[in-house]
Amino acid sequence: MIKTYIALFSTTFLLAGCLTSNVPAPTLYVLNPQNIEAINQSSSSVSMIIERPSVSSGLNTDRIALIKNNGRELDYFAEARWNGQLDKIIQDFMIESFENNYDIIEVDTSSRHQKADYMVVTKVRDFQAEYRDSINSPPTIKVTTISSLLKLPDRKPVNRIIKTKEKQLQVNSMQGIIFGLEDLLQQSSSEILTEISQGL
């Protein structure tokens, strides 16, 4: 009887291995900031900390999120991944967007905050494709960010910037979703950078 169980277990394991071995690896996608030349470059000599964003529950993963069933169901695309955890790649995106305008300092511990003039703290509330009709129809993509500029060392609030961007796609494709999310994040980052410049 024991030998029979072992044989059945081994057969099941082999079958599972055969099934999963045929599943293609997901495509990895990156987010690229817009060309910095599109933004009026600041001559201010300041240093900034771009903290890693806080990302809404369910979105902070390397999986690419989608919302369906009238906003009640969170799911993920099986064939695609970000090239890292979402909070980290958005932080890298923001740093690269800002670095040609300011002297950007990225730190991991609050003990080093004294060395910077300002800190940018961001929450990402939306970063997904939303299927408001059929899952086969083109989705709406949505990006919502809330950014605060704080004056260091006392972390005094200078301004708070809320940006919500939506775009209805014409085609239901992974490439369209990725490019669309990137475009909305580029728009938000450009506007955030402009408003932060006004607060310095």
Domains of the chain, residue spans:
2-199
Task: Calculate mean pLDDT across residues 39-56.
Answer: 77
Average pLDDT, the chain: 82
Segment 82-137, tens digit of pLDDT: 999 999 999 999 988 888 777 776 654 454 555 788 899 999 999 999 998 888 99
Strand 118-130 relative to strand 47-50, pairing: parallel
- pLDDT grade, residue 22 (50/70/90)? low
Structurally, at CATH architecture level, domain 2-199 sits in 3-Layer(aba) Sandwich (3.40)
Q: Are 110 and 47 in contact (CB under 8 A)?
A: no
Name the residue among 150, 127, 147 with its Cα closest to residue 189. 147
> pTM, whole model, 2 decimals?
0.81
Lowest mean pLDDT among 61-70, 107-116, 150-159, 179-188: 107-116
